Amino acid sequence: MRNSVALGLLVAASLTGSTALAQQPRWWSPVVADSAMVVSAKSEATRVGVEILRRGGNAVDAAIAVHFALAVALPSAGNLGGGGFLVVRTADGAVHTYDYRETAPLAASEDMYLDESGEVRPGHPSWFGALAVATPGSVAGMKLVHERHATLPWAELIEPAIELAERGFPVDPYALRLIAGKVDDIRRFPGAAAILLSDGQLPAVGDTLRQPELARTLQLIATQGPAVFYHGEIADSIVGAMARRGGLVTHEDLRRYRAVERPPITFDYRGYTVHSMGPPSSGGITLKLILEQLETIDLGNYPYHGARAVHRIVEAMRRAFAERNVLLGDPDFVDIPESILAEPYAHELAASIDTLRATSSIDIRPELSASQATVESTETTHFSIVDPMGNAVASTTTINGSFGSLETVAGFFLNNEMDDLTVKPGVPNAYGLVQGRSNAIQPGKRPLSAMTPTIVVQNGKPRFIVGSPGGSTIITTVAQILIGTIDYGMTLAEALDGGRIHHQHLPDTIRAEPWTLSEDTVAQLESIGHRVEMRRGYSGRAQGIELGPETGLLYGRSDLRGGGEAAGF
């Protein structure tokens, strides 16, 4: 499946010297470098990461700088007011995974979004406004990984983001599309409108977006550290805004917040070792369940995106998500069965797959309702980094919906992560996920997430560093990228650009990007009991790096679905 001619030309270009900067062409070719690579959803953030590596920083230094730069350049998803997960594999082979997921405020309760009759109140209170906001974790998370792994001073890593906020950056078509898609909601929130609009009107492509208030906030964090966010002036601003607007986050919530290191989810798939994130991210375990079910068959013998392959992949997704939605939650609150981590668990799920007929989701974990939702959002962001020393980072961060709750404070957007908890068992959240009581709202609890930052190792060396935004589709996006590379011999760029399908148990529907499945394939799938729908938009916008096992070269790819850039040297 490799385009050897294209790759050969790129390899030749990369060998002009390790000091030459390689940046992503806008279309089909990956970026090739021989020393270091950064791939993110915004060119401004990617270039910040490359510059940090050029100064001698390591992959974690670059990750911290990229994270803060994305808070400026991608306010729909990059953030100070949200949270996320980071996987780092150090050059000596050690793997560490960090959880800086948001937490439910101490005043939160299981029925906080329900009316007197026990129904979810109208107006999406877990999605818009201050009541949707959970205690942010991003700043604490960056400080934790800085203490554990970084080599450059904290303030030096935030300085590029401060400069970017002060001088501004041009609005590109992708950014304009994100703002235009939410403009009616943005106008309802004065702080959001002040950042993103001009006199209430949309910016034009090429306009400069400056954020002086955010620059001041970043300067405070650079000079005073996370203490100013969780105990000082910024904390006062957050708590004051919450009190005025009906939110629940208090000084006590901010004082109590801690980012933590968690055990990684590590498993083998067809000779590759996969390292991903554990709970409260569901990404690693659900990815494991999907791939280990598929390992019971020789998937590569079935035509790519043909009906037989899609049927088996969908049935594996269906079963994996059913287990996710019932069993997984914040491990500090929920006892997750140890058996789910053993390979036989997935093999037992695979044994229930009918190779000739679709299984009805209601017959798998019937305790979940068959409710459906129509609201979608994909505004998380991922970046991947490899440094010259051989360290690798995969990081996924979010404020959940596009521009989060649309509440702002001190120049940044606050998350709407409360919607990722189970607002009511059996009732779908904004991503259509029907979840159980393991993810019910409790004070201090971290919402279950689908974020799946992943590092894949082959023969003791990193091979793929990958992740994606996309809500519940994050897990299936990463799974299909690994299926494409491992089962079908694609380059990472080919697998990343390929069409995608998605199934999450409920609703009981295959969602496919419009160009992914042929009419004949859809007809065959429907004939055996599947329901197939074409998505209105994309499924994920992944960012990945492939390390050539023979050449040692780095191949960077920012998903063609939107807006990012790979660059290396």
Tally helices (H) and strands (E) across the chain: 18, 22
What are 3's two structure tokens?
Answer: 């385009």
Mean pLDDT, all residues of the chain: 92
Kindly report, residue by residue over 43-75, the tens digit of the pLDDT. Answer: 999 999 999 999 999 999 999 999 999 999 999
**C-alpha span between 484 and 481 (Å, rounded):** 5
pLDDT band at 83 (very low <50, low <70, confident <90, very high): very high
Kindly report, residue by residue over 436-452, the tens digit of the pLDDT. Answer: 778 999 999 999 999 99
Q: Which pLDDT does position 438 carry in this prediction?
A: 85
Q: Is the pLDDT of residue 7 over 80?
A: no
Q: Is the pLDDT of residue 372 over 90?
A: no
Q: Which pLDDT does position 204 carry in this prediction?
A: 97
Active site residue 485: no
Higher pLDDT, 480 or 17: 480
Taking the alpha carbons at both ends of the chain, their separation in whole angstroms is: 26
- For residues 130 and 247, is the Cβ–Cβ distance under 8 A? yes
Q: Is the pLDDT of residue 12 over 80?
A: no
Q: Which pLDDT does position 428 carry in this prediction?
A: 72
Kindly report, residue by residue over 235-276, the tens digit of the pLDDT. Answer: 999 999 999 999 999 999 999 999 999 999 999 999 999 999
- Which of 97, 135, 380, 422 is catalytic? The answer is 380
Pairing label, strands 532-534, 510-512? parallel
Over its C-alpha atoms, the chain yields an Rg (Å, rounded) of: 22
Q: Which pLDDT does position 548 carry in this prediction?
A: 96
pLDDT band at 23 (very low <50, low <70, confident <90, very high): low
Q: Which pLDDT does position 25 carry in this prediction?
A: 47
Cite the DSSP H helix spans in 168-232. 173-181, 183-187, 190-196, 212-224, 227-230
Q: Which pLDDT does position 538 carry in this prediction?
A: 83
